[in-house]
Structure 1
Amino acid sequence: MSPKLLGLPLLGILLSSLGCNGQPPAPPVIAPGDYASIISYLKQYIPREMAEHRVPGLSIALVDGQELIWARGFGFADQARGLQVTENTAFRAGALSQLLTATAVMQLVEQGRLQLDAPLQDSLKEFYVRSRFHQDQNAADQAVTVRRLLSHQAGMPAEYLRDSRTPQALNELPRKVSGVWLNNAPGTRTAPSNLGYALLGAAVERSSGLDFEMQLQKSLLRPLGMSQSSFIGGSGAQPYRTQGYTDGSRSNDVLVRDLSAAGLWSNPRDLSHFVRMLFAQGSYKHQALLSPASIKEMVRPQNSGNPLDFDCQVGLGWFLSPCGDEWVNPGIGTWQRSGSGDDFHARISVLPEQQLAVIVMSNSGSGAALAQPLVPQILRMLQQAHGAPEGMQAGPVQQGCVQHDSGQDGSVPNGSVLDSPVVDSPVLRSSVQSRTDQKGSDQNGSDQPSPRRRVPEAADRQHLAGFYATTWGVLRIKDQDQRLFGELAGTRFELLRDEHGWLRAQKKILGLWQQDLGDLGRVQLDVMNVQGNRVFTAKRHGQLLAMGERIDPVPLPDNWLAMVGTYHALNDDEANAPLNGVSIALEDGFLMIRSLQQGRTLTDYILAPVDNAHAVIAGHGPGLGDTVRRQVNGVNVLGYSFKRIYTPHYLRF
């Protein structure tokens, strides 16, 4: 119920309108060995983009093999105190923390203290799960393995919100969350989970005999010379840590309970040591820290059998495809990870075959919009300086604010999930075939009006109209006035079919001027039937990704209908709580549950009753599938109990 806490790569800024206030300087043509031109270009480009996106501070490192090509800080670590970012300044790393956690787990696997395919319960005896996907309790516990937790396939909730912003010991977490309900059947789809990685941190502590920070310092951080990196504390350790900023204003520096999931403070220079260790097959300065076999396993796709993951490949800790972000070059292998919050962004992207890497960290969530196009652009320049073979340097080029996919067309890529028999709809198969037969698409990828776009036919509109559960809230698609409209996260837009049969979103101001919808206006959209699920998909940079799932209304039990009202969280003892209320409402035959913060609605989700005592947040993916439990005059979700403070008059007796 709180997707902002996750720092996901899957279309994380899909609804952002990036704006366009002028043309950035064109990237230079780089001769082999000419790293100086790359650095000169970035010294001009980065400050300009920081001002454009209101990013106070940023740090970057470029790696080629065992060489740190460049590390540099820009802007302010603390604007009020005038403290500038240097290459030694530490930033919140967010989900990048999980790369270090996964490596520490693999070290313990090599030592025989953990087993990849063993249940987590073998290490954390007090931990158990509840499951609506298993008949047998033991089978449910056995399905939650270390490997599945590392690859985000264990079916765990994205978060356990209660006390998530308090410095409680990781070792206490397994007992506190025991009995948590699984969101998905383990091993069937990827759904990033901070809770899963927090539990892995507890397993590291239990199997090593040391607390998490001490173990990571001993096994990784100190051997790698990562002197400014740590999993404890906040930004108070100035001048070596940045202050975070949200919308240009200084943010509250909240503590992190789930250290192993999101607690790392580091900088690109320190993280470059970690990357160079991977490039050297597990050794750093002649000290072996990890075996080549373990590295190979970490970057082997773990989710190949999951059709609903579409074109997103996941390893152990690493994402092995852009998952909706821009390709550096089609067909070139990539390891990457990103993490975002309201007041930070961190991103690492690696080309393993050429041993090139870019690491960018900033102290504002708006840094995501800066780093997302910048990182692949830098990697392409590094390829040129590295002496990449002719033809390997082509790829998306930046023209203004629109990302253009060179050489891509509207067809389905070879090896896509659409070539698989899991796509079981005859209508979809014919639609996909027609698109495959037509080469070319909207080459500029823009959301400018096209004379070839058309209103979907009546039968098409009727087929598409409905409610779809997504990580960003409920997507409502409605057939109105013989046109098709969508609404997601407060943004309303029209859906049209393009010349290749894909849906495209567009919006006009006063019915006359085309409004820039950002990435939403540039991606190709459609609804596809996959293994009995009607999945709302987005095709971006040639990759097909699941955005949401069609949810049909079902009869609602009276006892759940009686839960309509507003609820206040019974967590007054917890500072900086991510939620302080929820509301439950009835809309078009659905129960809607909305998360509240300071009386402001954050996101709305569909609440689907399972039995008289339990309901789930409908859909699959991060923040979806959470179990909501009825209580006396209230509900419980993700560790929070909520007490009803308002009941509609028609339910009062």
Structure 2
Amino acid sequence: MKLHHNIFLILGLLLTCEINAQKQFSPAELEHFKQDFKELVIKKMKKHNVTGLSIAMEIEDQLVLEEGFGHADKSNGIKTTKNTEYPIGSVSKIITSTAILKLCTDGLIDIDKPYTHYVQDFSMKSHFKDENEFTIRHMLSHYAGLPRLRAKGFMKKAPEPLENLLLNSKDEYLISPPGRVYQYSDWGVDLLSLLVERVSGVSYEEYVENNIFKPLKMDHSYFGPAERTKGYDNGTEIDTYSYSFSGSDGVTSSVTDMLKIVRLYTKNGRRANKKFLSDAVVEDAIKNQFVDAPLAFDTGIGLMWEVLKLKSGHTRVKKAGVHEPFYSYIFFIPELDTSIIICSNSNSSSAIHWDSWGKLYSFVGKKYKASKNHNAKKEKVNYKKIILTDDQFKKIEGTYSTSIGILNLKRNGNKFDVDLKAEDKKGIGVPYSNGLIKLYVKALGVKVHAMDVFWKESNDEVIIGEQFESGTRHVIGSKINAKKIPNSWKNAVGTYKVDNYSENDYQTIDNLQLLINSDNVLEIRGSAKFPREMEIQLGLSPISDELAIIPGYNFDFFGGETVKLEKTNGMDYLTLSGYKFKRLK
């Protein structure tokens, strides 16, 4: 017995030495950084008029900071703490993916099997022939071809059963074949939470509470509205929506609790939680998925986590969430057991989240000889001005539905005239090699480089994307088919009003305009009024007398969705994302 005891003692000491040998920072260095970091946060909160936030930070598996700044409820004088509870918006998706990976670790599901293997009564319409069924892996990585979300009813005054998702899905269309393009999808995540129910035999919320929150001692996490934390718009208290579906946007949590989730995915954290998620599952979760997809470009997505390879060779893993006006961000470097979680009750806080990550990475990077720029840069490409062929001009010329609004490119000699309608900006587009087009606009009479876009033809569709300064490329939209507008759509032009709100719905959209714009493109215009004001401008590609597609794949609502034109009792109706709009006389 004594021999066994000594062996275990020696092994424990060796393990401790191994871990400590990797430490690059002394306690004094960490304390100095902590004070410097706190000064930055206080300064930035004042600059951006942020009411309250909480931060948890670890460096090399050492807890550096768990603290609140400002107020959770300004009118009642309640200050934030490390345990202040915030609606974490889309960070809730990490709870859902962790639940799925827990089921996988426990041998109850295989993420490479089709979704319908576990939820047999799911169905959704499709415009695509002979596509394969999407798998759980597709859904975890947002490559399933599912719409962004069903806008009507996404925000609710009271919870609704997950089974409603199946009823809603039957009447909607996939936006692409599985595995083709990244399309962020709340809908897909909520369908995954339904899978958890079907496999576990209990409600999604009960499974998470008993298999994630309680085992990890997440005592400040629950489903539903935050009980004591108020939301602020530039310092003014505002209301938010009470409920969404639990899987995609339903969790309220604290930075201390979210740190416990992050530790499941970091190097030393995994050692302490091996029985919770297997090493193979964790490695898969933070590895880039579907890198060979036709329209992957530089999309960095793991199993729900966003992943980016840094200049140092390390990996930055990220997830952000917005439950207007609450903002939550997680950043971590798994190889270095270094992480930061920031939750705020102010929609003016986004810059603080990024500045905080930048300061943390700059500090850690000094020891690990990392680049000062925390975003990895691609190999430099020397782009040259080129003259496109007539065929290329013909393919590119036209109107695009994008995440920056409707963009029109019209040939003018060997360049393009550019019209970004949403921002009422005009300029020129200069073609370069490798599909690049540099866009210039005039500001105060001076030509200014506005942005770089690129184009690619794929399956008879012309895709447009944005190229960033780092060289990375992401899809932002696609070309609208404006060859011919059927008479049924021409005759339906007019003003429409939502006709199917229920008592449980927040009234997010009021009226929409269906019109044909000056470029002979069918278009929908309108505005959302809750939870924040947002202009809506959507180009349509009619594919029949009754159906039109909103081209594009992007983070914004409605990209890739199908709009239906119906006539009931002599009245025109438009159906979009669950809304039924009635034409006004």
Measured against the shorter chain, the TM-score band is 0.7 to 0.9
Residue 573 (structure 1) aligns with: 502
Q: 539, 547, 551: which is aligned to 1:618?
A: 551
The 1:538/1:486 distance shift into structure 2, 3 A limit, reads farther
Residue 591 of structure 1 aligns with an amino acid whose one-letter code is L
Give the superposition deviation at 1:87.
Answer: 0.8
The 1:631/1:550 distance shift into structure 2, 3 A limit, reads closer
Residue 122 (structure 2) aligns with: 127
2:468 counterpart of 1:539: yes
Q: Is the 8 A contact 1:616 1:626 kept in 2?
A: yes
Residue 554 of structure 2 aligns with an amino acid whose one-letter code is G
In 2, Cα distance between the equivalents of 1:485 and 1:298?
41
Give the superposition deviation at 1:537.
Answer: 2.6
Give the superposition deviation at 1:371.
Answer: 1.7
198-207 vs 45-54, which deviates more? 45-54
Residue 573 (structure 2) aligns with: 634
Give the superposition deviation at 1:591.
Answer: 0.4
- The structure with higher relative contact order (CA 8 Å, sep 6+) is 1
Q: 581, 592, 615: which is aligned to 2:523?
A: 592
Q: Is the 8 A contact 1:537 1:547 kept in 2?
A: yes
In 2, Cα distance between the equivalents of 1:499 and 1:305?
25
1:126-175 superposed Cα distances (whole Å, 9 cap, x missing partner): 2111111135xxxx6x6132111111111111111222222112233223
The 1:549/1:279 distance shift into structure 2, 3 A limit, reads same
- Give SS of 2:277's match: coil
Q: 376, 382, 385: which is aligned to 2:364?
A: 382
The 1:251/1:571 distance shift into structure 2, 3 A limit, reads farther
Residue 331 of structure 2 aligns with an amino acid whose one-letter code is S
Residue 7 (structure 2) aligns with: none
Give the superposition deviation at 1:70.
Answer: 1.0
Residue 411 of structure 1 aligns with an amino acid whose one-letter code is K
Q: Is the 8 A contact 1:155 1:191 kept in 2?
A: yes
Residue 110 (structure 1) aligns with: 105
Residue 359 of structure 1 aligns with an amino acid whose one-letter code is I
Q: Is the 8 A contact 1:61 1:72 kept in 2?
A: yes
98-107 vs 598-607, which deviates more? 598-607
Residue 157 (structure 1) aligns with: 147
Residue 4 (structure 2) aligns with: none
Residue 91 of structure 2 aligns with an amino acid whose one-letter code is L
2:539 counterpart of 1:606: yes
Residue 172 (structure 1) aligns with: 164
Give the superposition deviation at 1:185.
Answer: 1.0
2:429 counterpart of 1:469: no
- Give SS of 1:130's match: coil
The 1:111/1:598 distance shift into structure 2, 3 A limit, reads closer
- Give SS of 1:315's match: coil
Q: Is the 8 A contact 2:430 2:439 kept in 1?
A: no
81-90 vs 491-500, which deviates more? 491-500
Aligned residues: percent identity? 24
Give the superposition deviation at 1:592.
Answer: 0.2
Q: Is the 8 A contact 1:245 1:251 kept in 2?
A: yes
Q: Is the 8 A contact 1:128 1:180 kept in 2?
A: no
Residue 233 (structure 2) aligns with: 246
Q: Is the 8 A contact 2:383 2:432 kept in 1?
A: no
The 1:612/1:282 distance shift into structure 2, 3 A limit, reads farther
1:513-553 superposed Cα distances (whole Å, 9 cap, x missing partner): x99xxxx94x5434445565342432233312222223342
Give me the TM-score of the superposition, normalised by structure 2. Answer: 0.84
- Give SS of 2:45's match: helix
Residue 561 (structure 1) aligns with: 490
Give the superposition deviation at 1:509.
Answer: 4.8
The 1:362/1:328 distance shift into structure 2, 3 A limit, reads farther
Q: Is the 8 A contact 1:194 1:258 kept in 2?
A: no
In 2, Cα distance between the equivalents of 1:625 and 1:283?
39
- Give SS of 1:555's match: coil
The 1:500/1:479 distance shift into structure 2, 3 A limit, reads closer
- Give SS of 1:353's match: helix
The 1:625/1:494 distance shift into structure 2, 3 A limit, reads same
Residue 548 of structure 2 aligns with an amino acid whose one-letter code is A
The 1:35/1:329 distance shift into structure 2, 3 A limit, reads farther
In 1, Cα distance between the equivalents of 2:31 and 2:360?
13
In 2, Cα distance between the equivalents of 1:628 and 1:306?
27
Residue 380 (structure 2) aligns with: 411
1:368-400 superposed Cα distances (whole Å, 9 cap, x missing partner): 23322431331231344xx42xxx232228xxx
Residue 14 (structure 1) aligns with: none
Residue 613 of structure 1 aligns with an amino acid whose one-letter code is E
Give me the TM-score of the superposition, normalised by structure 1. Answer: 0.76
In 2, Cα distance between the equivalents of 1:463 and 1:125?
42
Q: 285, 296, 302: which is aligned to 2:283?
A: 296
The 1:640/1:576 distance shift into structure 2, 3 A limit, reads same
2:256 counterpart of 1:269: yes
In 1, Cα distance between the equivalents of 2:363 and 2:145?
39
Residue 54 (structure 2) aligns with: 59
2:453 counterpart of 1:525: yes
1:451-488 superposed Cα distances (whole Å, 9 cap, x missing partner): xxxx9999899986532211342123456899844425
Give the superposition deviation at 1:211.
Answer: 1.4
Residue 474 of structure 1 aligns with an amino acid whose one-letter code is I
Residue 270 of structure 1 aligns with an amino acid whose one-letter code is D
Give the superposition deviation at 1:222.
Answer: 1.4
Alignment of 1:375-524 (within 5 A): 375-384=357-366, 387-388=367-368, 392-396=369-373, 411-412=380-381, 434=384, 466-477=398-409, 484-487=417-420, 489-492=422-425, 494-495=427-428, 503-504=437-438, 509-511=443-445, 521=450, 523-524=451-452
Give the superposition deviation at 1:53.
Answer: 2.2
The 1:409/1:88 distance shift into structure 2, 3 A limit, reads closer
Q: 343, 359, 362: which is aligned to 1:361?
A: 343
2:266 counterpart of 1:279: yes
- Give SS of 1:149's match: helix
Residue 51 of structure 2 aligns with an amino acid whose one-letter code is P
Unaligned 5+ residue runs, structure 1?
Answer: 1-29, 322-326, 398-404, 413-431, 436-454, 647-653
Q: 161, 181, 196: which is aligned to 2:188?
A: 196
Q: Is the 8 A contact 1:151 1:302 kept in 2?
A: yes
Residue 547 of structure 2 aligns with an amino acid whose one-letter code is H
1:400-442 superposed Cα distances (whole Å, 9 cap, x missing partner): xxxxx89x69833xxxxxxxxxxxxxxxxxxx7648xxxxxxx
The 1:62/1:214 distance shift into structure 2, 3 A limit, reads same
Give the superposition deviation at 1:497.
Answer: 5.1
Residue 197 of structure 1 aligns with an amino acid whose one-letter code is V
Q: Is the 8 A contact 1:495 1:503 kept in 2?
A: no
CA RMSD in angstroms comes to 3.2
1:329-353 superposed Cα distances (whole Å, 9 cap, x missing partner): 3643222111235412211112122
Q: Is the 8 A contact 1:281 1:291 kept in 2?
A: no
Residue 475 of structure 1 aligns with an amino acid whose one-letter code is L
Give the superposition deviation at 1:212.
Answer: 1.6
In 2, Cα distance between the equivalents of 1:456 and 1:551?
24
Residue 372 of structure 1 aligns with an amino acid whose one-letter code is W
Q: Is the 8 A contact 2:464 2:478 kept in 1?
A: yes
Residue 561 of structure 1 aligns with an amino acid whose one-letter code is K
614-623 vs 624-633, which deviates more? 614-623
2:212 counterpart of 1:206: no
In 2, Cα distance between the equivalents of 1:307 and 1:548?
15
Residue 344 (structure 1) aligns with: 326
493-502 vs 276-285, which deviates more? 493-502
Alignment of 1:325-336 (within 5 A): 329=311, 331-336=313-318
The 1:125/1:503 distance shift into structure 2, 3 A limit, reads closer
In 2, Cα distance between the equivalents of 1:181 and 1:382?
46
In 1, Cα distance between the equivalents of 2:240 and 2:378?
45
- Give SS of 2:509's match: coil
In 2, Cα distance between the equivalents of 1:340 and 1:456?
43
The 1:267/1:601 distance shift into structure 2, 3 A limit, reads closer
1:265-285 superposed Cα distances (whole Å, 9 cap, x missing partner): 112221111122222577585
In 2, Cα distance between the equivalents of 1:90 and 1:534?
41
Residue 233 (structure 1) aligns with: 224
